[in-house]
Each structure stands twice: as C-alpha cells, then as structure tokens.
Amino acid sequence: NVDNNNAYGLLLLRRGAVRESEQFFRCAVDTIISRNPNPYKSEPYYNLALSLFLQGRYDEAYDLFYKCTWNDQWKSVAFFYLARIDSIRKNYEQALEHVDESLISNSRNNHAWNLKAAVLRKTGRMQLAHETVTYVLNADPLDYGAMNEQRLCIQSAGKQKSADNISGSLKDCLSRDVTNYLALAEEYMNAGMFEEVCDILEFALETEKWNNDPMIHYYLGYCEYRFGHKKEAVKLIKRAGKLPSDFCFPNRLKSIDVLKLAQELNPDDARAPYYLGNLFYDKKRYDSAIEYWEKSRCLDNTFPTVHRNLAIAYYNKKGDAEKARVAMEAAFALNTNDARVFFELDQLYKKQGKSPEERLKMLNDHLALVEQRDDLYLERVMLYNLQGNYRKAAELLATRHFHPWEGGEGKVTGQYVLSHVQLGREYLGNGDYVKTIDELKEAQVYPENLGEGKLTGTRENNIHYYLACAYEEMGEDEMAGFHLNKAVEGDYSPSMSMYYYDKASDMIFYQGQALLKMGKEKEARSKFNKLIDYGQAHLFDKVSIDYFAISLPDFLVFDEDLDTRNKINCHYLMGLGYLGLRELKKARDKFCKVLELDVNHIQSRVYLSLMDRVKEKEEVLIF
C-alpha cells in the first residue's frame, strides 16, 4: 500500500498533477507512521514535501523536509530544499547553514554549491562566492550555473571586461538549447531570486537565436508579475503570444504555472493554451491536452497546428475518427503547403478506408507536396501497385533517390520487389519468358537509389518459383530444377509480420506451389494446411507490441489496431491456403474479408485479380 501510493503519487507529480499527487503521498505517510513515528522509509515524506514545495506551500514543506533529514538517504536533498526555502524567505544565514549540511552529505551536488555561491554573493561575501564557483568550475568547466555566478560576481566587483569574456563562454554553453536558459532560470526561481531570473532571461534575449522564443518572454512576464509589475508582465505575455510557435514545445513542470498565469493575465492569448496542450499531451494527460487545444482553437481558428494536434488526439485517445478527419482537413485547408500535414491527412484517409482511387487522385493533385517527402512519394507508388499499374510504380521508384527513415525500413524495397515480381508474372502469363526472367532477376538486386540493401535471409521463394516456371516453359529443365529446389527451401512457420525484418509467411504458399510442380502433392497440401491452421488458431488472438528501439514497418501517426491487423493476417494466410488447395470459393471469401478490413491490402487484390481471370471450373495455373 505504501509503495503503491508513493509510486502513483510520483507518476502524477511527474505529469504535472502536483495537487492530485499530494493525497497519495499523504496516504503513504499515514501508513508508515501508523505504528512508528520515525519510520525506516522516508521517501513518502520527501515526495510529499516536494509536492507542497511545488505548490508554493513552503511552511508545510519546510517541516516535512526537516523530518526527512534524519534519514541519511534523503538528508542531502532535504537540507538542500530547506536552504532553498530559507533563500525564498531571504533568511540567508540559515540558508548557508542548511546548504553546508547538504554538502556534507553530498559534496558533488553542484546545484547546492551554486546556491551557496548565490547566497554568499547576495550577502556581500564576494571572495567566498568566487572561491565557491571556482571550486565547481575546476570540477566541471561546463557547469553553466557556476559560470553565471562567476559572471555576476565579477560584474559586482566592477570588472566588466572580464565579465564580458565569461558572458561569451556562457552564451556558447547555454545557446545550444533554450531549455538551458529556462533550467537555469528555474534554479533561481526555486531560491526566490527573481532578479537573477530576469537577468538570465534578458541575457538569453541578447542571443539572436532566442530573441523571439515565446517561452523566454512568458517566463519574463511571470517574473515581472512576481515583482508586482503587472502592466509590464501583461506586455511581455502579449508579445510572447504573437511570436512564432515553430520549435516551441515546453515540457518543464514550472512551465505549467508560467503558462497558466499567462492565460489569466491575457485571456485572449491563443498560444498559451496551445503550449499547455502540448505540454500535457507529453505528460500523458490527454483529456487536459484536448481541453486546452480546443480552447486555443476557439480563440484562434486559423492556427493549423492546433487542428492537426486535435486530430491526432481525437483519433488516438478518443477513438473518434470523424472528428479527427474534420480537424485534419481543417489543418490542411489552412496551410496547403504543409507536406507533413498532407501526409498525415492521407494516412488518416487510409485508416478510414478511403478508396485508393480517391487517394491517388488527391496525391496527383498535389504533386509538389508529394515530391517533398519520401514517405508521401512511396504512398503514391503503393497506390499504383494497388491498382495493378506495376510499370508506373517501377518507373517512379527508379527516378528517385530514397533516404532511410524511422518507421520506413523495408517499405521502399518491398514495393520495388512487388512491382517487378508482378511485372514478371504478367510477362509469364503472356508467354514472354525472356522478359519474365529479366524482371524477376531485377527484383533480386536492390539498386542504390532505394537507400537500403537486402537483409540477410530475405525470402525469395516466389521469385524462384516464377523463374522455375519461365525456364520450364523455355525448355531449360536444368535451370527450372535449380530454381524449383530454391523455391522449396526453408523450414518456415506462419506468423504475424510485425517488424520489417520478419519473414513473410506467404512464402509458404510458394513452397507449396513448387512442391505441386515437383509432384509432391502430399507435402504441398501440408504447407497449405499449415497456413489455414495458423489462421484459424490465431484469428481471435489479442496482440500487443513488445519491443525496444525497433521500428515498426509503418509511420504510426495514428495508432494501429493490432487485433484488426492480426485478423487481416489470419484471413490472408487462410486465403492463400485455400487457394493452394484449389478451394477457390473459400479463398475468394477470405481475400474479400481482408479487403473489408483493409481496402489497401495489395496482395489480396493481386490474388483476387488473378482468380477473376480464370473461369470457374478451370485449373489455376500461375499465381
């Protein structure tokens, strides 16, 4: 019970639900002191104190931090927070005593050393402050908190030239990421040193890169408000709301307080709730994120990104595909030059079963956007393959240099192989065996422009099967036998292909086809029945992803229904099994079922198209 309450309280705390976390920490504390007023475990005490500190309830937090100091595990950090509260109260002598106690327990806490230097500087003991930061910088020359204290100490001593030299080094250190400035500002905020906060934020504004960063201005407005300068605070907050939102994604807990104050002081600001929505979505507080994004949309209906974010939240977290579609269409309508949103809109249409013909028309109507992204370009290729225009797909693949991207592994090469194999199959059906062999051999070699090489162990049973058919028709029995033996190689078991390197289960079908051609009907039927048995046994499985740092073969903007995906795979494999057994009606039913679940399933369309060309009582010769 103690561990559960403490852990859930921590989860809420990390997600920015600071007030909600308090009750769980209190439950944990009540349990551990029910039989012992000085319990062995002090973590719930510390977490409760931290929750109260973040709520600004310093008197209550102070007593609880003191309670933690008897336990060596929490002694250092508890004394450190006591020193921060002392500094907030401007009780600097007490702050020095407590920070020294903290450093006795953990002398490597640079935050504590920097706080000590700041307090020494505030009390006029410049020499001691300078010695303190020198000690820190000797241990860590890139500690920007110590560098800033060194700059302030030297400025106070009137040595402006030396201070300017340190300022240059400090900017080099801080300017890589605006979060560095905000983190340093929060260090001073937590000690109640708002003059230093304003100083470091204004220092950030001197850098051209961060002069127009909204969060710097929001934080400055927050500080001015704490100084009692409400008019200046409102001015800064209004400016922040008008700055470009590009690359601004706040994720710090303190930013919640800053942005909520911005809303309060400037209720017409549409960007503050937008940033809060981003922050809460990052913290997995999805209902709050949607609430703030909807508020932002009400204040400014012309901002495309808030519509786009709402579309993703509606689909992934609310399961409302229709609201997602309306929001994503609004996002694209507001900026028809945004290739990313266009790609996401197409992916949403794909999820919702929009016909391939409509999707292809939309892509062809926006070719300039399609050319900007490999993933969009590949969707156009896939749609041509889906419609059976394999030559066009192959031509498109040949005229672009692709670059690998997260979630796209194996997709470009997959479409390349598909287009050339199907072209080869068409030539085979038309009796042009030389061109059949050329196309199939081309499918076995991945050109450099695809951006990927062939994985070791890639299954090519289908290619060898078609090559065997072509050589047999040409009367080259030796080559036909060679490729037929290649086509039956491998001891495969059906499975659900989840990752890009997974072995394709449909190669079992081509093993069976090759075995039939070799006259081994019993073994062939065993292969086909294996596909049917797997599909029947796993059709109602509940599927979950268990992976670490492995890319799925899809760019998952919108969540995948893995159970539906499993059903598609099972119906497809059963369709192959029935096709191999020549039970054509059952095979057709299964492939049609696949297309009901996923209108974009290329292979099911391929086999249905082949079956449509065969009269009802005729033997199916080539698949």
Q: Give the pLDDT confidence score for residue 164 in this predicted structure.
A: 76
Q: Give the pLDDT confidence score for residue 549 in this predicted structure.
A: 45
Task: Provide the token pair at 184.
Answer: 């340093």
Higher pLDDT, residue 173 or 380: 380
* pLDDT tens digits along 232-259: 999 999 999 999 999 899 999 999 999 9
* pLDDT tens digits along 536-552: 999 999 887 765 545 55
Percent of the chain that is helix, strand, coil (3-state, to 5): 70, 0, 30
Handedness of CA 579, 544, 340, 296 (dihedral sign): positive
Please answer whether residues 581 and 528 qualify as being in contact, where contact means their C-beta atoms are separated by less than 8 angstroms: yes
Task: Provide the token pair at 366.
Answer: 């926006």
* pLDDT tens digits along 295-341: 999 999 999 999 999 999 999 999 999 999 999 999 999 999 999 99
Q: What is the mean pLDDT of residues 49-71?
A: 95
- Give the confidence band of 618 by pLDDT, cuts at 50, 70, 90: very low
Q: Give the pLDDT confidence score for residue 550 in this predicted structure.
A: 52
Burial of 135 (0-12, 13-18, 19+ CB in 10 A): middle
Q: Angle, nearest 10°, between helix axes 411-429 and 461-473?
A: 20
Which of 104-113, 163-172, 185-194, 356-365 bottoms out in mean pLDDT, i.e. has the lowest? 163-172
Q: Angle, nearest 10°, between helix axes 374-386 and 339-351?
A: 40
Q: What is the mean pLDDT of residues 541-566?
A: 72
**C-alpha to C-alpha distance for 294 and 300, rounded to whole angstroms:** 10
- Give the confidence band of 501 by pLDDT, cuts at 50, 70, 90: low
Q: What is the mean pLDDT of residues 275-284?
A: 97
Using only C-alpha atoms, what is the Rg of the chain? 33
Whether the per-residue pLDDT at 450 is higher than 60: the answer is yes
Q: Give the pLDDT confidence score for residue 299 in this predicted structure.
A: 97
Q: Looking up tokens 């059963």, which residue turns up?
A: 574
- Give the confidence band of 166 by pLDDT, cuts at 50, 70, 90: confident
Whether the per-residue pLDDT at 348 is higher than 90: the answer is yes
Q: What is the mean pLDDT of residues 405-434?
A: 92
Whether the per-residue pLDDT at 616 is higher than 50: the answer is no
Burial of 83 (0-12, 13-18, 19+ CB in 10 A): buried
Q: Give the pLDDT confidence score for residue 610 in this predicted structure.
A: 85
Task: Provide the token pair at 229.
Answer: 């300068």
* pLDDT tens digits along 172-225: 888 888 999 999 999 999 999 999 999 999 999 988 888 899 999 999 999 999
Contacts of 621 (CB under 8 A, 6+ apart): none
**C-alpha to C-alpha distance for 263 and 274, rounded to whole angstroms:** 11
Q: What is the mean pLDDT of residues 506-527?
A: 94
- Give the confidence band of 165 by pLDDT, cuts at 50, 70, 90: confident
Which of 307-321, 433-447, 500-514 bottoms out in mean pLDDT, i.e. has the lowest? 500-514
Q: What is the DSSP letter of 292?
A: H
Higher pLDDT, residue 291 or 623: 291
Please answer whether residues 209 and 197 qualify as being in contact, where contact means their C-beta atoms are separated by less than 8 angstroms: no
Q: Give the pLDDT confidence score for residue 617 in this predicted structure.
A: 40
Whether the per-residue pLDDT at 413 is higher than 50: the answer is yes
Q: Give the pLDDT confidence score for residue 619 in this predicted structure.
A: 43
Share the mean pLDDT of the chain.
92
Q: What is the mean pLDDT of residues 69-81?
A: 94
Q: Looking up tokens 């250092």, which residue turns up?
A: 76
Whether the per-residue pLDDT at 105 is higher than 50: the answer is yes
Q: Which of 329, 334, 296 minimizes the C-alpha distance to 315?
A: 329
Whether the per-residue pLDDT at 416 is higher than 90: the answer is yes
Collapsing DSSP states into helix, strand and coil, what is residue 621?
coil
Q: Give the pLDDT confidence score for residue 500 in this predicted structure.
A: 61
Please answer whether residues 494 and 534 qualify as being in contact, where contact means their C-beta atoms are separated by less than 8 angstroms: yes
| CA dist list (Å): 343 to 237, 313, 367, 372 | 34, 17, 12, 10
**C-alpha to C-alpha distance for 30 and 139, rounded to whole angstroms:** 42
**C-alpha to C-alpha distance for 508 and 576, rounded to whole angstroms:** 9
Whether the per-residue pLDDT at 620 is higher than 50: the answer is no
Contacts of 557 (CB under 8 A, 6+ apart): 312, 344, 347, 348
* pLDDT tens digits along 259-274: 999 999 999 999 999 9
Please answer whether residues 254 and 189 qualify as being in contact, where contact means their C-beta atoms are separated by less than 8 angstroms: yes
Q: What is the mean pLDDT of residues 70-76?
A: 92
% of the chain at pLDDT higher than 90: 81
